[in-house]
């Protein structure tokens, strides 16, 4: 009889530990924003948004992207980024994005990050439109729309 009672506290404490772990994982990064991210292609150049996240207490938005080009392309020294003037719209409000970093990962691929300063008013969720008219010195139109939760 004593053996069965001695296993009881271990089971309860194991369950409590598992429960606390699951709850903490749910709230581990409250500034992370989930998005159904997408891609767009024009002139043979594919722009893919890999990840979207909020940071700095929700005041900034980070957009990680990948660019695939069909040929070995380079970044213009005048622009200083693979993407010229990226525009980000949250609903009907435009926020300016600026390139923070980029890296050429292969002769035809670039990976980079764009940051946008968010305005004070932000709805609970927002339709986001991301577009640019120039990638790797090639004129075109790359437009990606997605829904951003919890912004």
Strand 93-106 relative to strand 60-68: parallel, antiparallel, unpaired? unpaired
Average pLDDT of the residues in 100-123: 85
Q: 59 falls in which pLDDT band (50, 70, 90)?
A: confident
Higher pLDDT, 2 or 54: 54
Residue labelled with tokens 């699951």: 22
The 10s digit of each residue's pLDDT in 8-24 is 555 555 555 444 444 44
Q: 79 falls in which pLDDT band (50, 70, 90)?
A: low
Average pLDDT of the residues in 108-136: 84
Q: Is the pLDDT of residue 110 over 90?
A: yes
d(CA 22, CA 28) in angstroms, rounded, equals: 10
Query: Token pair for residue 105?
Result: 């990962």
pLDDT at 56: 84
């Amino acid at each position: 009889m004593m053996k069965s009672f001695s296993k009881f506290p271990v089971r309860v404490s194991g369950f409590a530990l598992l429960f606390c772990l699951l709850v903490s994982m749910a709230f581990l990064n409250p500034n992370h924003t989930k998005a159904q991210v997408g891609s767009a292609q024009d002139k043979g150049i594919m722009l893919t948004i890999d990840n979207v996240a909020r940071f700095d207490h929700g005041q900034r938005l980070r957009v990680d992207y990948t660019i695939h080009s069909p040929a070995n392309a380079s970044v213009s020294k005048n622009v200083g980024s693979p993407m010229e003037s990226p525009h980000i719209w949250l609903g009907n409000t435009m926020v300016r994005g600026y390139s923070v970093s980029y890296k050429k990962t292969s002769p035809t691929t670039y990976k980079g990050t764009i940051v946008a300063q968010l305005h004070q008013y932000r709805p609970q969720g927002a339709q986001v439109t991301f577009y640019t008219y120039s990638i790797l010195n090639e004129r075109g139109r790359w437009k990606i729309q997605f829904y951003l939760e919890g912004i």
